[in-house]
Amino acid sequence: MPTQLEFARQGTLTSEMKIVAETEGLPEQFILEHVARGEIVIPCNPNRKNQSVTGIGTGLRTKVNASIGTSSDICDIGLEIEKAQAAQEEGADTLMELSADGDMDEIRRAVLKNTDLAVGNVPLYQAFKETINEYCNPAKLDPEYLFDLIEKQLEDGLSFMAIHCGINQYTIERLRNQGFRYGGLASKGGTFMVAWMDINKKENPLYEQFDRVANLMKKYDAVLSLGNGIRAGAIHDSHDRAQMAEMIINCELAEVGRELGCQMMVEGPGHVPLDEIEGNIMLEKRMSGNAPYYVLGPIPCDTGAGYDHITAAIGAASSARYGADLICYITPSEHLALPNTDDVREGVRATRLAARIGDISKYPERRENERFAAMARRDMRWGDLDKYLLFPQIAKKTKENRAPEIKETCTMCGDFCAMKKGMEIFEKDIKDKRGCKSTLL
């Protein structure tokens, strides 16, 4: 069966493309053309029937990914289901199931069953963990087992995978020649693959047999997200030679994958100072032929632990502004602990807000919602205001818990309310010169 990319190249508008067009409020032809170019991807493994459809890429709302998963210290399948459902309730667009311990097949299948979101993963986690369980040595990983595992996970219904194809002997040589890094290596899967290559003195099989990887993904019409295994874990490592070597390789592989008919994304950093974010996104877009860009944060400073959901939201707003297409959230526990359910909720909220800030800068025509919210606040129409807010329930609860004496106002200003006084002065004069009258008139 053709992939979304192949259907689009044939001029066939799929039901998934129609859903994306309707959801985004864009012409169907726009979606068709950009899917055909590989500038929009639609993660939608047909093996899974209960998943929502979302588009990622050029001209679309910046999407938010939430990541969950077990660790060797905290492994509770019920908790992972709870976190997956919390991410969906808070408005995440996609989910990554990144368990690194426990029965990973059972956990993955339970998450897929209990959420409607398109789900992705990093197959190297399970591959190395099960190799350690069997041999007590990750260097014993059998490439054939890895490819079999990727297909088993795809059969379960995963719609995208972060696969570390861009790590090769050349990128490792760059690390050695530059004297390693200030922040070390930040990617679990990437680091274990580097170790495997170093010990076995072999090339990365995911790079060496890239056509095989792409054809496996194509078989299930899953999006191949080229993992950023050499991403910077500190802003002083941002855009060093090793990171750039992997980025160039990933951008080349994105082109190769598209030629094979596979839907492709490129993954990005990582820790990046704010002034370098625009350049990073420009490079990825230019070198990859405008492939959708999936970024982690990025995190623009290294000293925000405990509030890194805010640190990353600042980077995410800038990333969305300059063209990133999918943002992986960061939670308050980043760098400190495995996220709990409350962390997941806060991470999704902060990243959704950041994406919205970026989008209204990237797409000025989408600012109308902000104008309507401002007018509702001006007119003190609190019920109408809720319709325009990203987090209406939280806003309503906050206001009700601290109810003012004067119903129209709030306890921030009370009877010293600027909005109330302004309306008393200008009520007779209020007319929106751009064609939208106040509801008070």
Distance between CA 101 and CA 431 in Å, rounded? 61
CB 323 within 8 A of CB 283: no
Entry pTM: 0.95
Nearest to 336 by CA among 361, 305, 382, 292: 305
20 neighbors 40 (Cβ within 8 angstroms)? yes
Backbone angles phi, psi at 55, to 5 degrees: -100, 145
The mean pLDDT of 42-51, rounded to a whole number, is 95
Residues in the chain: 441
Q: What is the pLDDT of residues 25-41, one digit of tens each?
A: 999 999 999 999 999 99
DSSP string, 150-161: HHHHHHHT--EE
Q: Is the pLDDT of residue 184 over 50?
A: yes
| HEC-encoded secondary structure of 129-149 | HHHHHHHCCHHHCCHHHHHHH
The whole-angstrom separation of Cα 407 and Cα 124 is: 57
Summarised one tens digit per residue, pLDDT across range 66-82 is 999 999 999 999 999 99
- Chain region(s) in the chain for CATH 3.20.20.540: 4-365
Which class for 292: exposed (0-12), middle (13-18), buried (19 or more C-beta within 10 A)? buried
Buried b (16+ CB within 10 A) or exposed e, 169-190: eebbebbeeeeebebebbbbbb
Residues 6+ apart with CB under 8 A from 244: none
Sign of the alpha-carbon torsion through 147, 152, 153, 157: positive
Please report where in the chains the tokens 């990171």 appear, as a residue: 243
183 DSSP 8-state letter: S
Count, in order, helices (H) and strands (E) of the chain. Answer: 19, 10
210's tokens:
């890239």
What is the pLDDT confidence band of residue 432, given thresholds at 50, 70 and 90? Answer: low
Residue 263 has pLDDT above 50, yes or no: yes
The string of pLDDT tens digits covering residues 116-137 is 999 999 999 999 999 999 999 9
Q: Residue written as tokens 């609860």?
A: 397
215-251 as b/e: b if 16+ CB within 10 A: ebbbebbbbbbbbbbbbbbbbebbbbebbbbbbbbbb
Q: Look-up: residue for tokens 């993955």? A: 108
Read off the pLDDT band of 438 (50, 70, 90). very low
User: For the residues 243-249, what does the mean pLDDT come to?
Assistant: 98
Average pLDDT rounded to a whole number, residues 137-156? 98
* Topology given in CATH for the domain delimited by 4-365: TIM Barrel (3.20.20)
DSSP secondary structure code for residue 416 in this structure: G
